[in-house]
Amino acid sequence: MRICIIGFGSVGQGVAQVFNMKRDRIKQDYDLDLQLVAVADSKGAVISEEGINPALLLETKQNTGRVSDYPEYGVNGVTGMDLLDTVEYDCLVEVTPTNICDGEPARSHMLKAMNTGRNVVTSNKGPLALGFTELRDTAQDNNVMFKYEASVGGAMPIINFAQETLSGCEIESIYGILNGTTNYILSRMAKEGSSYNQTLNEAQEMNIAETNPTQDVEGEDAACKVVILANSIMNMNVTYNDVMVKGISQITPESIQLAKKEGYLIKLIGEVSHDSLEVSPRLVNEGSPFAVEGTLNVATLKTDLADDVTVVGKGAGSIETASAILSDIISISKSMI
Amino acid sequence: MRICIIGFGSVGQGVAQVFNMKRDRIKQDYDLDLQLVAVADSKGAVISEEGINPALLLETKQNTGRVSDYPEYGVNGVTGMDLLDTVEYDCLVEVTPTNICDGEPARSHMLKAMNTGRNVVTSNKGPLALGFTELRDTAQDNNVMFKYEASVGGAMPIINFAQETLSGCEIESIYGILNGTTNYILSRMAKEGSSYNQTLNEAQEMNIAETNPTQDVEGEDAACKVVILANSIMNMNVTYNDVMVKGISQITPESIQLAKKEGYLIKLIGEVSHDSLEVSPRLVNEGSPFAVEGTLNVATLKTDLADDVTVVGKGAGSIETASAILSDIISISKSMI
């Protein structure tokens, strides 16, 4: 399978690392040869029909900050869209930064790939939260696969889990901790009685929260995931603006301690059901699967037959997210046989 | 798909109920027509090429205790093996009671079905814990599918999850609460400071523990599951006797309270790795996914790329277990296209 990666930040580099680590194994186990034929970052690209060496590409990017410095095959100034016009490939891995204003340039990359008969795998929340239906329909119209497990909860594989592993059940609602940064902050506040601002500062120092933490702490990131889960698992047709969103910045140590005395914890919960799309701080029981600490993500699927089924996993991380992308690629290759 | 069910206790009846509830939906969603052509219990069978009505079958069983009293098509004294000689079918659902001495008669049923070119779905731990390799190899030799999600943790779907959803990862070890009865007993002891015997009695009164609780409380049930997970997910070749087993009957309320003071809970843990096959009571952290209460099952897969991924679900229940069987049947039907 000839693969084109657009975006070479943390996730894109994770994908290259995973290809480097697992290419032989994947060939052996799934009879699937992962061939990297083109990679673009914001400054240029590298294109090679014979295949790009992932280790050399990672080294190049680390040394100069540009994939276009890859020996012999680098090209300066080429954009993602240029690449999709030039290269012969089978599957686009779209991992440019999430843009929740208009979903670009990821949206255009994915539509272009689909409209020219290529499969698409992405971790990009923006275009999925804003225009999921357009993307899904375009994939269907062109008879290509569109996979996006990595867009929700990195290494907490919930979408394929619901669609494949639980195929005998209908999913009635989804309830989850969909953001690792806020889970970290709330867990620390519960454990240490510290204030929101103090704990946020600590999380920023540890690179768990970003310098501008708004997307995480105000629930916007979790709301994007609510939209993706609603559209993909529950067959709804909703966008970001349909979600009621309340973040965690107003939560006091006192309210957390009060909850704790009664056997509860406060967590930022995303809820997806036909009656409600919401992100808000809620009480969860101390003995429940939602009592997880640190940056873990967790989601419970309420099903018609199997009652509640819960998945817990790392919500972020370069290699972790890349592993979800790899599983999606393997699933595409199985459907191509 | 023409389906033959052998065994019509709690799980078999759950399967009939699920067929009754979901047949139309499954037809619509997966273009799969589930046709029940034969069902046997320990006293006889019902056979009909035109299809057995699941609702009428359940009613018959409830009223007289025998599927052979099904109007017109019932046959007294027919055994499961007789059935497999007589009936034309595509998939055997083997759900007779678990026998961990020799795995019979389930083992013979499954081998016969496979050797005559039929797919097999089962919830039966016995033959899988004793002779997994024989069954897997027989299925492979005959080019039929062999699915057994329901044999471990009813509605905690771990096997298909590891093999399909996490296909990009290698599983390095598995660590889980694989028995609901013992989790219930230990959770109650932790919460109420009650003794093991008193709590067991309560659990028996609530039908959570059986009158003879040995298989559960001495860890035998969990050990069977350890074997199934080792063989199916980790590609090992082990049997029941390879597992070190220690149950929960020696645990005192004092040790539980002592653990609690330090932020730990005691749980009966099954561990599967290339170095260790073990069932024993261990300490788990209060803030971890293993702190779940009640009869829940939980299993963590340690992976090479996605770090730890955890699944939590109901370990038992008639409909819950049947839902895992249905998902396996759907997965077989997809591979038949």
Mean pLDDT, residues B77-100: 93
DSSP conformational letter for A219: S
Instruction: Give the mean pLDDT of chain A.
Output: 94
- Chain B residues within 8 A of A25 when measuring between CB atoms: 170
DSSP states of B100-120: TTT-TTHHHHHHHHHHTT-EE
Domain limits, chain A? 2-155+318-336, 164-314
Tell if the CB–CB gap between A168 and B329 is shorter than 8 Å: yes
pLDDT for res B164 = 86
Q: Among all residues of B, which ones are annotated catalytic?
A: 225
Q: Is the per-residue pLDDT at B100 higher than 90? A: no
pLDDT value for B335: 82
Are B331 and A167 within 8 A, CB to CB?
Answer: yes
pLDDT > 70 in chain B, percent = 100
pLDDT at B225: 94
In this predicted structure, the answer to whether residue A337 has a pLDDT above a threshold of 80 is no
Q: What is the dihedral of CA B4, B6, B12, B18, to 10 degrees?
A: -10
Query: Is residue B337 over pLDDT 70?
Result: no
Nearest by CB: B314 against A296, A306, A313: A306
Please give the average per-residue pLDDT across B298-305, as a whole number: 94
Rounded Cα distance, B212 and A66, in Å: 68
For A42-89, write each residue's pLDDT tens digit. Answer: 999 999 999 999 999 999 999 999 999 999 999 999 999 999 999 999
The set of residues, in sequence order, having a beta carbon less than 8 Å from that of B202 and lying 6+ positions away, is B188, B194
- In which band, very low, low, confident or very high, does the pLDDT at A185 lie, cut at 50, 70 and 90? very high
User: What is the pLDDT, as a whole number, of residue B28?
Assistant: 92
- What is the C-alpha separation between B286 and B22, in angstroms, rounded? 39
Average pLDDT of span B103-118 = 96
Q: How confident is the model at residue A289 (pLDDT cuts 50, 70, 90)?
A: confident
> Which pLDDT does position A210 carry in this prediction?
87
Q: How far apart are CA A315 and CA A332, in angstroms?
A: 23
* Spatial contact of B280 and B219, defined as CB atoms under 8 Å apart: yes
Per the CB < 8 A criterion, the answer to whether A274 and A118 are in contact is no
pLDDT digits (tens, 9 = 90+) for B196-215: 999 999 999 998 888 899 99
Query: Is B280 a residue whose pLDDT tops 80?
Result: yes
CA dihedral angle for residue A273, residue A189, residue A157, residue A150, rounded to 10 degrees? 100
pTM of the model: 0.89
Q: With 90 as the cut, is the pLDDT of residue B316 above it?
A: no
- In this prediction, residue B20 has a pLDDT band, given cuts at 50, 70 and 90, of very high
- The residue in chain A having the minimum alpha-carbon distance to the alpha carbon of residue B167 is A327
The answer to whether the Cβ–Cβ distance between B307 and A313 falls below 8 Å is: yes
How far is residue A24 from each of residues A4, A21, A50, B185, measured CA to CA in Å?
19, 8, 17, 47
Closest CA of chain B from A78, distance in Å: 31
State the average pLDDT over residues B34-49: 96
Whether residues A327 and B169 touch (CB distance < 8 A) is answered with: yes
Chain A residues whose beta carbon lies within 8 Å of the beta carbon of residue B263:
none
Q: How far is B147 from chain A (nearest CA, A)?
A: 12
Chain B residues touching residue A325 (CB < 8 angstroms): 168
Instruction: Please say if the pLDDT value at position B154 is more than 80.
Output: no
Per-residue HEC secondary structure of B153-183 comes to: CCCCCCHHHHHHHCCCCCEEEEEEECCHHHH
Distance of CA A108 to the CA centre of its chain: 18
Q: Which of B25, B292, B305 sits opposite A287 (nearest CB)?
A: B292
What is the pLDDT, as a whole number, of residue B293?
A: 87
Which residue is catalytic, options A225, A246, A260, A334? Answer: A225
- Smallest Cβ distance to B323: which of A169, A288, A323? A169
Triad A111, A116, A122: Cα angle to 5°: 45
d(CA A6, CA B164): 26
What's the one-letter identity of residue B282? R
State the pLDDT at residue A288.
83
Measured in whole angstroms, the distance separating CA A149 from the mean position of its chain's CA atoms is 6
* Inter-chain CB proximity A165 and B160 less than 8 Å: yes
Contact A291 B293 (CB under 8 A): no
Q: What is the pLDDT of residue B184?
A: 94
Give the residue with greater pLDDT, A155 vs A290.
Answer: A290
Asked if ipTM goes beyond 0.85, one says yes
How would residue A23 be classed by pLDDT, with cut points 50, 70 and 90? very high
What is the chain A residue with the closest CA to B188?
A: A287
Q: Which residues of A touch B310 (CB under 8 A)?
A: 310-313
Burial of B262 (0-12, 13-18, 19+ CB in 10 A): exposed
Q: How far apart are CA A235 and CA B4, in angstroms?
A: 33
Closest CA to B301 of B119, B189, B115, B159: B159
- What distance in Å separates residue B180's CA from the closest CA in chain A? 14
Q: Which residues of B284-316 are buried (b: 16+ CB within 10 A; e: fewer)?
A: bebbbbbbbbebbbbbbbbbbbbbbbbbbbbbb
Contact B18 A166 (CB under 8 A): no
Q: Give the minimum alpha-carbon distance from B219 to chain A in angstroms, rounded to a whole number.
A: 23
Model confidence over A190-239: pLDDT tens digits? 999 999 999 999 999 998 888 899 999 999 999 999 999 999 999 999 99
Summarised one tens digit per residue, pLDDT across range B237-274 is 999 999 999 999 999 999 999 999 999 999 999 999 99
Q: Summarize pLDDT for A293-328 with one digit per residue, the tens.
A: 888 999 999 999 989 999 999 887 889 899 999 999
Q: Return the SS3 of A4.
A: strand
Q: What is the C-alpha radius of gyration for chain A, rounded to an integer number of angstroms?
A: 20
Which pLDDT band, with edges at 50, 70 and 90, does B22 fall under? very high
Query: Any idea which residue has 């954009």 for tokens?
Result: A79
Question: Of B123, B226, B113, B239, which is closest to residue B179 (Cα–Cα)?
Answer: B226
Strands B35-40 and B308-314: unpaired
* Closest-CA distance of chain A to residue B66, Å: 26
Instruction: Give the three-state DSSP class for A160.
Output: helix
Which residues in chain A have Cβ-Cβ distances shorter than 8 Å to B294?
287
**CATH number corresponding to A164-314:** 3.30.360.10
CB contact under 8 A, A293 and B298: no
**Whole-angstrom Cα distance, residue A271 to residue B306?**
25
Is the domain covering B2-155+318-336 a CATH 3.40.50.720 domain?
A: yes
- Report DSSP letters for B276-304, one per residue: -EEEEEEEEETTSGGG--TTEEEEEEEES
Give me the mean pLDDT over the B73-97 stretch.
94
3-state SS, residue B148: coil
Identify all chain B residues contacting A169, using CB atoms and an 8 Å cutoff.
323, 326-327
CA distances from A39 to A57, A83, A87, A93, A150 (A): 9, 8, 10, 9, 19
